[in-house]
């Protein structure tokens, strides 16, 4: 029979595996955006929009002010659109 400590351990290990999978997915999103930007398939404004849409802006940190302005405007549009849909 599995005791309570083993049960907690198994739960924590499963949570860590899930967190690792989410981290890998975030890495792939950022890598994809970087490749597209580097290859001139998208511009900086679009890259920031994609990063913002993926919810990963917190990982990027400082960005040029003009690009940040575009991201902030896009965030407002997305928020208003989401609220209107509800």
Answer whether 78's CB lies under 8 Å from 50's CB: no
How many domains does the chain divide into?
1
Predicted TM-score (pTM) above 0.85: no
DSSP type of residue 42: S
Answer whether 82's CB lies under 8 Å from 55's CB: no
Confidence label for 39 from pLDDT (cuts 50, 70 and 90): very high
| Residue ranges making up the domain that contains 24 | 4-85
pLDDT (tens digit, 9 = 90+) per residue, 7-23? 999 999 999 999 999 99
């Amino acid at each position: 029979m599995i005791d309570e400590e083993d049960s907690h351990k198994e739960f924590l290990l499963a949570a860590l595996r899930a967190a690792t999978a989410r981290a890998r997915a975030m890495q792939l999103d950022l890598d994809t955006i970087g490749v597209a930007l580097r290859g001139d398939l998208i511009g900086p404004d679009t890259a920031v929009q994609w990063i913002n849409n993926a919810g990963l802006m917190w990982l990027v940190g400082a960005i040029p002010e003009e690009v940040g302005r575009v991201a902030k405007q896009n965030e407002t549009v997305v928020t208003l659109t989401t609220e209107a849909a509800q």
